[in-house]
Amino acid sequence: MRYGPYLLDLKEYTKDIIGMHDQKIVDFTCRYDDKLVGIPVSAGYSALYSNKILLGKYGLPIPKTWDELKKTAKYIMEQENDPTLVAYNGLLDESENGICSIYEFIYSFRDSIDDPFPEIRSKTTINALNYLKEMKEEFGLDEVFKKDMSISLGLLFQKKAIFTKLYTLPSYFVNSIPYSVSPLPGYKEGVSTGILTGYNIGVDGNIPKEKIQAAITAIKFLTSKDTQKKYFMMQNVITSIPSLYDDNELCQMVDCEFFKNIQFTVRPTSKYYGYTDLYLRIERNIYDYLYGDEKVENVVKNVEDLTKIHYVSFKEKESHNELALGIFILVVTLSFLMIGSLVFLFSGKLNEFFNYLSVDSWIISIFGLIVLISSCYTTLGPVTDAKCHLYIVLTVLGYTLNLTPVIHKLVVDFPDEIKLLKWIKDHKYVFFVLFILFDVIVLSLFSLKVFDVKVNIIEDGENFETCKIKNTLSLILLLFILIVYLMVICTSLLLCYVEWGVKTVIYDIRIYILAFYTDAFCVVLYFIFEFLSVKNYIIQFLIKNALTLIPVITNYITMYGFRFYLPFYKTDENEISATSIHVKKDTYSKSINSESNQSFIMKMRNYHNQTISESKRKKFISGYSIEATSKGANFTGTGMSGSMDATSRQIGTSTKNSNA
């Protein structure tokens, strides 16, 4: 309904009159979203006009099914042997009449009276179009079907049509031609069809309040039972008030049974196309089959693409449910896998390999990954404002919960004594809460509606909806979140650089860098993706989920999962494992502070160089106790003898060298 958004809601003003009108007509033509924006003032229907002279000549009844119509027309054509005689006009031209004829014919193939309009790609629709083409070809009606309504009217006047499809005409006109008017046939007896036409009356939504009551009074007068009856009898203005078809006075002038028995549908509408544009596109596709060689399956698929919004959902077969089900199962499986793997934190045999972080920190970090991967659920099904916002909320909170424990550990292990860092070390949970509180404050601004749902109209393709940044303020908010996130990642990378050799040669710090780079890359790529014009909803779905799944899987493996491999890892005999081999912070502090005038960059470089130097003097794998790694490696013989004494001496040597 193209004018629906601009009309006044009449629900509160017309409660006393709306109930007497045909509710099917009201629902089809007078409602926009939750508003009542019009009242029917007149109606009209398509109908079958049957040549009474020819039917009477051969003693044949008015057909009630399409098979009967074909059989009757074929018999009369053979008997009359008149090349100018037309079996059926079709009225399938390139005007609005064409789309009406197509849709009413499809509607006539439903199984029962109460069935709704068939799905456009259903077997019912395909059967209807096949039947229509067969009928056209059987009677050689290509040129007749393409003729407009003026030609059809001419056929009535000339009595050259056996059956003609037209709209309800004034009674004085019908009385002047030898044709009977009846509902259009159906594929099955008892089922008929017709297209609804007519006019509604509404009120401009911008009308001054003081004039509303006058407008409502006019509407009530024009749509009242008395006025409708008067103009029906005087000028054949068909009414939408069913009770009038039981009025004896009216029924003496019109065929009330016809209007009582009419089974109508309505023309297709779309929020995304103008009506003229829509029906021309539908007609073009249907006619490629009726008048051309295009396959009917392709045609109905193209028509569906015009009127349907596509999305990925495991609830509907036509929505790539295999792909949706695959993503859903993958997300659920990974979530349970991550939750289940937390059990190993409490295993006496394995918990030595997870002591880089405390148990509570590991739980928070893994929970963050589960929150992050949960954002994939928002990509399933129709796109909504709520899903657009929830995706960002889950993404931001997921990254925060996952990375904050690691960042805290990096800050705590910074090789220098700084008051702020000491406070962070002593107040771990306050540090976590501050990060989360910051997210909550920023995300609360999403109540301003950062996203809108935008429809992407794809020419000769599949239309779909996507989340689109609403305005400049929304863009600034998202940029702010991105900048803060990248600052946190850069700070984490700097801390990794500083502590490059303090804790590990192979694992922990160095492997975390892969996680940080992957996270930053995927977040930036997603932000860029928001500004790209993607023409395929499947590609959009896959990219969005990939940019979530890749960092989740990478973070899980690099931060947590690889530690399951360590019990089976075999090291060289000269590679010693220890948790307590840490160069004392005061050693670094004295060295760095001795050159207090150095720039920040130089200080960071010195921290890095000193830790690298220390690492070269003694290879070690941090975060894992001697017992844990030696058990996993199954060390035997003399390779490990005296290792604790050797380790103690090496620490002492390292400290002296640093002071030097």
Residue 35 has pLDDT above 60, yes or no: yes
Give the model confidence (pLDDT) of 439-475 as tens digits: 899 888 877 788 888 888 888 788 899 998 888 888 8
What pLDDT was estimated at residue 409?
A: 85
Share of the chain above pLDDT 90, in %: 53
Non-local CB neighbours of 383 within 8 Å, separated by 6+ positions: 311, 453, 464, 465, 466, 467
Residue 657 has pLDDT above 70, yes or no: no
Question: Among 159-173, 223-237, 278-292, 493-507, which stretch is predicted with the lowest mean pLDDT?
Answer: 493-507
Residues 556 and 633 in one domain: no
What pLDDT was estimated at residue 540?
A: 92
Contact criterion met (CB below 8 Å) for 217 and 207: no
Residue 574 has pLDDT above 80, yes or no: no
Task: Summarize the confidence of residues 47-71 as an average pLDDT.
Answer: 96
Residues 333 and 467 in one domain: yes
Q: Is 26 part of a structural domain of the chain? A: yes
Q: How long a stretch of residues is the chain?
A: 660
Give the model confidence (pLDDT) of 38-47 as tens digits: 999 999 999 9
What pLDDT was estimated at residue 585?
A: 45
Residue 630 has pLDDT above 70, yes or no: no
Residues 534 and 603 in one domain: no
Residues 297 and 350 in one domain: no
Residue 605 has pLDDT above 80, yes or no: no
What pLDDT was estimated at residue 606?
A: 60
Last-in-domain residue among 564, 590, 624: 564
Identify the top-confidence range among 53-67, 302-316, 336-350, 397-411: 53-67
Q: Which residue has the higher pLDDT, 609 or 474?
A: 474
Contact criterion met (CB below 8 Å) for 569 and 400: no
Number of H helices, E strands in the chain: 26, 11
Interstrand relation of 86-88 and 161-167 (parallel, antiparallel or unpaired) = parallel
At 351, the pLDDT band (50, 70, 90 cuts) reads confident
Last-in-domain residue among 515, 533, 564: 564
Residues 221 and 355 in one domain: no
Residues 493 and 456 in one domain: yes
Q: Which residue has the higher pLDDT, 154 or 618?
A: 154
Long-range contacts of 466-471, Cβ-Cβ distance < 8 Å, separation of 24 or more: 466/383, 466/534, 466/537, 466/540, 467/383, 467/387, 467/388, 467/391, 467/530, 468/530, 469/530
Give the model confidence (pLDDT) of 201-221 as tens digits: 999 999 999 999 999 999 999
Residues 550 and 606 in one domain: no
Q: Is 571 part of a structural domain of the chain? A: no
d(CA 397, CA 436): 7
Q: Is 79 part of a structural domain of the chain? A: yes
Residues 158 and 186 in one domain: yes
Interstrand relation of 576-577 and 620-621 (parallel, antiparallel or unpaired) = parallel
Burial class (CB in 10 A: 0-12, 13-18, 19+), 81: exposed
Residue 283 has pLDDT above 70, yes or no: yes
Residue 454 in 3-state DSSP? strand
Task: Summarize the confidence of residues 358-363 as an average pLDDT.
Answer: 90
Quick check: pTM over 0.95? no
Long-range contacts of 220-228, Cβ-Cβ distance < 8 Å, separation of 24 or more: 220/14, 220/16, 220/17, 222/41, 223/17, 223/21, 223/39, 223/40, 223/41, 224/17, 225/20
Residues 371 and 442 in one domain: yes
Q: Is 569 part of a structural domain of the chain? A: no
Give the model confidence (pLDDT) of 400-410 as tens digits: 999 999 888 88
Contact criterion met (CB below 8 Å) for 416 and 607: yes
Give the model confidence (pLDDT) of 546-568 as tens digits: 999 999 999 999 888 888 777 77
- What CATH number is given to the structural domain containing 263? 3.40.190.10
In 3D space, the residue among 69, 313, 31 whose CA is nearest the CA of residue 182 turns out to be: 69
Q: How many CA atoms lie within 13 A of 499 on its CB side?
A: 28
Contact criterion met (CB below 8 Å) for 450 and 389: yes
Task: State residue 86 phi and psi, 5-degree precision.
Answer: -110, 130
Q: Is 570 part of a structural domain of the chain? A: no
Last-in-domain residue among 509, 535, 564: 564
Residue 285 in 3-state DSSP? helix
Query: Could you please report the per-residue DSSP string of 357-369?
Result: S-HHHHHHHHHHH
Q: Which residue has the tokens 């979203």?
A: 33
Q: Is 299 part of a structural domain of the chain? A: yes
Q: Is 311 part of a structural domain of the chain? A: no
Q: Is 309 part of a structural domain of the chain? A: no
The CA-based angle 164-170-172, given to 5 degrees, is: 105
What pLDDT was estimated at residue 491?
A: 86
Residues 264 and 401 in one domain: no
Number of domains in the chain: 3
Structural domain harbouring 45: 1-304
Pseudo-torsion of CA 394, 395, 400, 403, nearest 10°? 130
Residues 517 and 425 in one domain: yes
Residues 274 and 371 in one domain: no
